[in-house]
Structure 1
Amino acid sequence: MIARFLLTASAVLPSFILAAPIAFAQESVAEAPDISDAIVVTARRRAENIQDVPLAISVIAGAQINETGAFNVGKLQQLAPSVQFYSSNPRNSAVNIRGFGAPFGLTTDGIDQGVGLYVDDVYYARASSSVFDFLDVDRIEVLRGPQGTLYGKNTTAGAINITTNQPTFDFEGKAELTVGNLAFKQAKAAISGPLSDKVAARIAFSGTSRRGTIFNVTTGNWINEQDNIGLRGQLLFRPNENLDITLAGDFNKQNPECCGTVYVRTGATQRSTGRQYAALAALQNYAVVSTNPFDRLTDIDANLNAGNKTGGVSLRAKWDVGPGTLTSVTAWRFWDWKPENDRDYTGLAIVSKSQNPSQHDQYTQEFRYAYEGDKFDFVVGAFGLKQRVDTQGTEQHGPASSRWTLSPSDPLSLDPSVLDGLTAYNTQYLKHTSAAIFGQLSWKVTDAFTIQPGARINYDKKSGYYERTVFDGDGNPVLFGQTDPRKVAQRGVFAPQVSAPTFSDWNFSYDLTASYEVTQDIRAYATYAKTFKTGGVNQNGLPTNAAGEPIYEAGTVKPESVNHWEAGLKTQFWDRRATLNLAIFRTDVKNYQATVTNGQLGVLRGYLANAGKVRSQGVEVDFSVRASDRFQAYASGAYTDAKYKRFVDAPCPPELAGGTTVGAGQTPAAPGTPGLSPANCDISGKRLPGVSEWAFSYGAETNTPVKLLGRDGEVFLGFDGNYRSNFSSNPSPSAYTWVKGYALSNFRFGFRDDSGFNIYGWVRNAFDVNYFEQLTFGPSNTGLVVGQPGDPRTYGLTVRTSF
């Protein structure tokens, strides 16, 4: 690990990614800060030195984002060890902190995120925004732990605050062009300046394209490509020095052929031997194109698409009213998702169509008043959210489905027409209204000791609707009560259903933080928070009983109840050239909102249920040193122990599923042995999915002054890396889906001068490490495991200039 502390790139890097980091990254020699300069953040809705903020916060500067290649939220986990990101496609994306945020698995619109995503104070309700390129970013603040008493939407796991560069009354601009292997091309540009003495404007553009990393032998195309376009414009009206009114709009579009998987392995389940993957594939003379996932070959035969549009408009007003600042943020956002997937993960025409396009509209309004005084500082505010999500789904089976889906002992399995063309149409919507008032007070008891209480009252109302209609290949409806064996078989794959769950609730949360300034450069703090994550509705359909009827009691999920404890120490020494920060935490969650999966092909894929109790505890450490203007280094680490404390009726992993459900007095078969399967499993004590126990980020940079092509500047050599230990890639840990730990290393070498010119070559995943971002079980408990390989070695050249 120490060997990886070589050199990191570009301008100045120290990003504090754990207990309370600092980022010095700059784009030119002239802008390099003095070593005693402080990082200013607005995490508590007022500008202050990051070392004075009594919470665990990381700051990543815009220049570091550019030069480390962290061009979207998904890449943040390589810089911030406490962040977990997983995504099977843009819609099914989630950002977690310390193991909490959203349940691992398929995304449901019926619950809220536990990690809030904000851009210039605007709350983004849909996690799909996390896969778009960062656009003209000034800095990113990653706050860990509950944030509900200061931020618009209640968030129990943390918040990611993205601040973009704002319009300026001095003319400025910048442009950047990058080319690399895999046909990688990226262009960025921004320009800002005055339109009059009271009005300034800024416009920014970003475009990224890259060839896919998996070759589909069926279509002859490279899939899982990148294809992003983003545009953001801002207009600042400053009638006087006390009032800023900013009108902003953005539009982002993706249209890649995405998102496919590769074959990884098979694992024995409790299905009969003749109904497991090897036997079913042999029945149709099917052989996967490659059993080595890092050949990066697939043969999936259904259409792939990840069309994704998002954007919106916001109006933000900041008014200095004398004793404080009044802020209003009004915003509208939309999201348009047009996917196509291959849900059987094979080259067989089992599922021939799988698409669930969605449209999201969101309106938010936030008011805040912030006051700073000699003895008291406080923030009070109100927040409102109104959103609607509509989805229209189509699932269709193909000619290979009968042989794959029905039991080989059933004569109907030999007739492709039984399931060929079987189609389910899903119509659903979610309406959600949320309103809250919140506040936080800082009482400076003495010059060194501060007490900070906060409180929030929140109301949420959600109503959902789900309807599934089913038709056979001839267009005839499939209904309950039909006794024709073909209809019974079809209904076993797709069953009609209607549900309309509703939920509403009031919640009260509060927190208390005490901080003590031991010396000018040492601050200790301790926090307790009692908070919640609002309840929700099962928006993708309900589980059914033995008669195929919906279990309406499963229509809603209870709010999560959260108890959080944290203590930290923030220190600087060596004339503030070095910073060492430490945080320890424990979070207990009752009624944890977990994803429950259903193994059958074509039926309900997953729904939400409340686990009894989960817990996350750990230690986060961050160190940064800037020995001189010629050398600096950083290292951040997190140990996270995140487990189910009590979940006695969890879904079983595939090795304990697929057989006949046990009856009274019967004993389940051994894992992976065909026979009887338990109705559910006790996974108490097992690790939460997606969470590595150990995670590190580290890097360094060295530079030397030179004169090149008549320019005075410096040559720099940089390195940054990250490591994550293994993690479970299934809601109930399975022996077949543990993702092995891996370390990634990135290098860059280049030249920059004090005019803003910067040119450097880079290589990411320099040692071409083979690793998986996620593993997934194929449907029907056949034992098929597929995966999404991480990016291979990439390299390229970046040229940047500013004026």
Structure 2
Amino acid sequence: MRPIRKMKLLHPSTCALLAACSGAIGAVHAQEATGAPAAATTDDNMSRVVVTARRREESLQDVPVSVTAFSADQLSKQALPDVTALALSLPNTTLKASRATNSTLTAFIRGVGQADPLAGFESGVGIYVDDIYLARPQAAVADIYDVERIEVLRGPQGTLYGRNTIGGALKYVTRKLGPQRDVRVRATLGDYGQRDGVLTASTPLTDTARISGTFARFTRDGFGDNLTTGKGNYDKDVTAGRVSIELVPNQDLFVRLAGDFTQDDSNPKNGHRLIVGRTSRAPILDDVFDTRGNLTKVLGRDQEVRSYGGSVTVEYTVDSAWRLKSITAARRDKSWAPIDFDALPVVDMEVPALYTNRQFSQELQATYSGARLQGVAGVYYMDANAFNQFDTILAGAVPTSTFTLGDIDTKAWAAYFDGSYTLAEGLSLSLGGRYTVDQREADVLRQIYFGLAGSPRMGNPNAILFRTDTDLRGGLLERKDKKFTPRVALSWKMNDAHNLYASYSEGFKGGGFDPRVNVVGTRLPIATARAGYAPETIETTELGLKSAFHGGRITTNLAMFHSDYQDVQIPGSIAIDTNGDGRDDSFAGVTTNAGKARIKGVELEAVANLTPNFMVAGMYSYIDASYREYIVANVNVASQRTFQNTPKNSANLRANYDIPLPVMGHNGRVSLIGSYAYKGATSQFETPSILDQDSYRIWDASIVWTRADGKVRAGLHGKNLGDEHYKTAGYLFPTLGNEGTLTAFYGNPRTVSATIELRF
């Protein structure tokens, strides 16, 4: 196990100096500017990006919120494969596919997130599609298509959004349909057998009705091989689609009916063993993308993820100041997930799992835009169910199959408001608040059966029951959590080029129940199990400066933040010895509320349009996240714990140089795009282990030709050109089974692809 690297904390005077330097640079540039510069042509100019972070259209530089936006054109030029690729250029953000999955999202922003996708655990980072909150992370690793932009907000979000999210928000914003027929085609060919295609078509039906449809296929062979099954490992087989109908009976009324689906038929993704088999002495494979896992089915079905949903959005403009909005949405998903923990051809530690989720939400919202007062107020309701059942098949002196069932119902009500009032020219005060009620009911069942053939509910009707460790069904698990969380911000627009803001906000996430809780095996008091885990809260203070120099050709966004994090929810699973023979023979779900934590950091984003054809952009972030109180067996072990998925340092530098180049008689330009990303050392869990990842670097490059009218684009893209191998997740159970489980999952290796986009 490698030691934790010690780094000096960021001194407050350093933050002050950084802020002062940013202001000094702005003053120098303002003095140097003697006339209006040429308009910037690149899409990365932050001063011209319009976002809806505060539920109204505003320039990115005018919003007193830490937000980064990616436009559709920027996403297209960089050929980002899915939403996880955004993390390389986002400050203090981790986005990745969860362990052993292709499409379940693990998201952390400023040290706040949720790594466990089991029922009962809600993400600390909210995922929104057109302001519709996705309650569960399954199928949230979305391929990027049919979007107008993606916005990422950092810090607690609750006074502006339907569902409170304690760490931040990731927003997909799809484009509204135009009055003309529009057909778009995108095709991609790449190594590892990559074959992607997206077809989007929209057309007016009448003067007041429009329809659009998108169909997408994303396929790829595996980055490695499963040496047991002969199939690819880390392959991709995803089909997705979206249909929307928009009605505009008059200029005041807008109605959108939308539906979407995602079908993931990829092979099971198995990890790479980092230790030799304890009994078989199976060696460590040379290729980190190869595996030997043998579990391929759940209840007789291959791995499969289905996700679909529908929504109705109605917007009504009452007058020049008032607008009303209703968002009604429902979603479902189901996953058959064969998880081979040990990644060996023997049955040693395997988990065939079934996940199902459903949700319904209704939001009513009113926005006001007056001369001095602008704001939003709304009410929100959500009814959601998260269900999982799985066997943990474990070899040992007494082979067993432990069946676990978790059935969690969540009902949430909320009322929120956020208003901004202009106190004087350039000076505005924002006040917001949210009252949240989270009600949860759960059924949890845990039973141990003899043998390695599984339990009756997972396909073995002849299984013999050994013991019931947990049976908390029939209304035994209930809790209701309530909280008011305020937000206040003061923004001073010193002039057209500089916007200074300070804010204080609170975040809240309700408590719940661990579906893996083991009452008998850990001698856990029933009262403790019934209480579940407590809500977590955060208080964040932020100071930011958004600046533009040379008439907007150079923009910088600087933010410094400090958070007090209370009762941090940390779910996990540990190996246990149930019979006192000195050998771990089972596991238990353990969810800890770490009492206190402190998180502080700094984030800097900058874009420089050096010439009309040459743009350089960069990002640097630093975060110091540490536990202050973490009680285990009545002992404070805070000094021995780290924040997972929160590297101290992250950086990104990218450049875009455009060269006019006509092709086949059509004017256009070639864009030469390069980027460098750095991620500091990252812990996978709260305790150090061999699964932790040292710092690493990623190089990307693209050559893209775009026709002058924008109707043709062709590109060649290289990702991770240094072929860096870096761990993103893993399983740590080295004492369980006959072989021991210590497996790692890795980010994508070097890939090269060619894309062509046509618009008719």
Q: How does the TM-score come out when normalised to structure 2?
A: 0.87
| Residues 1:615 and 2:598 aligned together | yes
| 1:514 maps to amino acid | L
| Residues 1:752 and 2:706 aligned together | yes
Alignment-derived partner of residue 720 in structure 2: 765
1:97-147, CA deviations, whole angstroms, 9 ceiling, x for partnerless residues?
011022x4x323213222111111111111123223123011011011111
| 1:41 maps to amino acid | V
1:430 alignment partner, one of 386, 389, 408: 408
Alignment-derived partner of residue 774 in structure 1: 729
1:297 alignment partner, one of 284, 290, 297: 290
245-254 or 462-471: bigger deviation? 462-471
| 1:633 maps to amino acid | V
1:443 alignment partner, one of 387, 409, 421: 421
Return the offset for 1:454.
0.3
Return the offset for 1:297.
2.5
Alignment-derived partner of residue 362 in structure 2: 365
Q: Given the superposition, is the C-alpha separation of residues 618 and 476 from structure 1 closer, same or farther in structure 2, using an over 3 Å criterion? A: closer
SS of the aligned residue for 1:358 comes to strand
SS of the aligned residue for 1:129 comes to coil
2:344 alignment partner, one of 317, 337, 346: 346
| 2:411 maps to amino acid | T
Task: Determine if contact 2:733/2:742 at 8 Å carries over to the other structure.
Answer: yes
CA distance in 1, matches of 2:121, 2:64: 30
SS of the aligned residue for 1:575 comes to helix
CA distance in 2, matches of 1:470, 1:229: 38
1:146 alignment partner, one of 133, 145, 156: 156
CA distance in 1, matches of 2:452, 2:314: 59
Return the offset for 1:778.
3.0
737-746 or 236-245: bigger deviation? 737-746
Task: Determine if contact 2:699/2:721 at 8 Å carries over to the other structure.
Answer: yes
Task: Determine if contact 2:408/2:440 at 8 Å carries over to the other structure.
Answer: yes
SS of the aligned residue for 2:48 comes to coil
Task: Determine if contact 1:543/1:604 at 8 Å carries over to the other structure.
Answer: no
SS of the aligned residue for 2:69 comes to strand
1:469 alignment partner, one of 436, 439, 447: 447
Alignment of 1:194-593 (within 5 A): 194-265=204-275, 280-281=278-279, 285-288=280-283, 290=285, 292-294=286-288, 296-303=289-296, 306-322=303-319, 323-351=321-349, 353-397=350-394, 401=395, 405-406=396-397, 418-419=398-399, 422-473=400-451, 495=469, 497-498=471-472, 500-544=476-520, 552-553=528-529, 555-593=531-569
Aligned sequence identity (%): 25
CA distance in 2, matches of 1:713, 1:350: 59
Task: Determine if contact 2:342/2:740 at 8 Å carries over to the other structure.
Answer: no
Return the offset for 1:527.
0.5
Return the offset for 1:434.
0.1
1:742 alignment partner, one of 696, 703, 707: 696
SS of the aligned residue for 2:551 comes to coil
Q: Given the superposition, is the C-alpha separation of residues 800 and 747 from structure 1 closer, same or farther in structure 2, using an over 3 Å criterion? A: same
| 1:798 maps to amino acid | T
SS of the aligned residue for 1:288 comes to coil
Return the offset for 1:496.
5.6
| 2:369 maps to amino acid | E
CA distance in 1, matches of 2:152, 2:423: 28
Instruction: In structure 2, list runs of 5 or more residues that go unmatched.
Output: 1-21, 23-38, 457-462, 577-583
CA distance in 2, matches of 1:92, 1:777: 19
SS of the aligned residue for 1:347 comes to coil
| 2:313 maps to amino acid | R
Q: Which structure has more RCO (C-alpha within 8 Å, separation ≥ 6)? A: 1
| 2:245 maps to amino acid | L
Alignment-derived partner of residue 26 in structure 1: none
592-601 or 539-548: bigger deviation? 539-548
Task: Determine if contact 1:72/1:130 at 8 Å carries over to the other structure.
Answer: no
| Residues 1:625 and 2:582 aligned together | no
| 1:455 maps to amino acid | G
Q: Given the superposition, is the C-alpha separation of residues 700 and 605 from structure 1 closer, same or farther in structure 2, using an over 3 Å criterion? A: farther
Task: Determine if contact 1:424/1:468 at 8 Å carries over to the other structure.
Answer: yes
553-562 or 721-730: bigger deviation? 553-562
82-91 or 116-125: bigger deviation? 82-91
Task: Determine if contact 1:752/1:759 at 8 Å carries over to the other structure.
Answer: yes
Q: Given the superposition, is the C-alpha separation of residues 214 and 731 from structure 1 closer, same or farther in structure 2, using an over 3 Å criterion? A: farther
Return the offset for 1:247.
0.4
CA distance in 1, matches of 2:427, 2:181: 44
| 2:729 maps to amino acid | Q
Q: Given the superposition, is the C-alpha separation of residues 334 and 435 from structure 1 closer, same or farther in structure 2, using an over 3 Å criterion? A: same
Task: Determine if contact 1:393/1:427 at 8 Å carries over to the other structure.
Answer: yes
CA distance in 1, matches of 2:691, 2:707: 48
| 1:626 maps to amino acid | N
1:52 alignment partner, one of 59, 62, 74: 62
Q: How does the TM-score come out when normalised to structure 1?
A: 0.82
1:617-645, CA deviations, whole angstroms, 9 ceiling, x for partnerless residues?
10000110112331111001110111212
Task: Determine if contact 1:508/1:531 at 8 Å carries over to the other structure.
Answer: no
Q: Given the superposition, is the C-alpha separation of residues 577 and 457 from structure 1 closer, same or farther in structure 2, using an over 3 Å criterion? A: same
CA distance in 1, matches of 2:619, 2:374: 31
| Residues 1:172 and 2:182 aligned together | yes
1:690 alignment partner, one of 616, 626, 645: 645
CA distance in 1, matches of 2:524, 2:47: 66
1:14-70, CA deviations, whole angstroms, 9 ceiling, x for partnerless residues?
xxxxx9xxxxxxxxx999679797211111011111111001100011222233333
Q: RMSD of the alignment, in Å? A: 2.7
Return the offset for 1:227.
1.2
446-455 or 534-543: bigger deviation? 534-543
Q: Given the superposition, is the C-alpha separation of residues 596 and 392 from structure 1 closer, same or farther in structure 2, using an over 3 Å criterion? A: closer
CA distance in 1, matches of 2:215, 2:413: 34
| 1:622 maps to amino acid | E
CA distance in 2, matches of 1:450, 1:30: 29
| 2:353 maps to amino acid | N
Instruction: In structure 1, list runs of 5 or more residues that go unmatched.
Output: 1-18, 20-28, 266-276, 407-417, 479-485, 651-678
CA distance in 2, matches of 1:532, 1:429: 23
Return the offset for 1:451.
0.6
| 1:705 maps to amino acid | P
Alignment-derived partner of residue 19 in structure 2: none
| 1:465 maps to amino acid | D
Q: Given the superposition, is the C-alpha separation of residues 687 and 470 from structure 1 closer, same or farther in structure 2, using an over 3 Å criterion? A: closer
SS of the aligned residue for 1:112 comes to coil
| Residues 1:130 and 2:140 aligned together | yes
SS of the aligned residue for 2:282 comes to coil
CA distance in 2, matches of 1:628, 1:382: 47
Residue-pair matches, total? 698
Return the offset for 1:71.
3.1
| Residues 1:182 and 2:192 aligned together | yes
SS of the aligned residue for 2:73 comes to helix
Task: Determine if contact 1:542/1:551 at 8 Å carries over to the other structure.
Answer: no
CA distance in 1, matches of 2:418, 2:232: 51
Q: Given the superposition, is the C-alpha separation of residues 622 and 344 from structure 1 closer, same or farther in structure 2, using an over 3 Å criterion? A: same
Alignment-derived partner of residue 26 in structure 2: none
Task: Determine if contact 2:714/2:754 at 8 Å carries over to the other structure.
Answer: yes
SS of the aligned residue for 2:586 comes to coil
CA distance in 1, matches of 2:630, 2:593: 9
| 2:569 maps to amino acid | Q
| Residues 1:95 and 2:95 aligned together | no
Alignment-derived partner of residue 719 in structure 1: 674
Return the offset for 1:476.
12
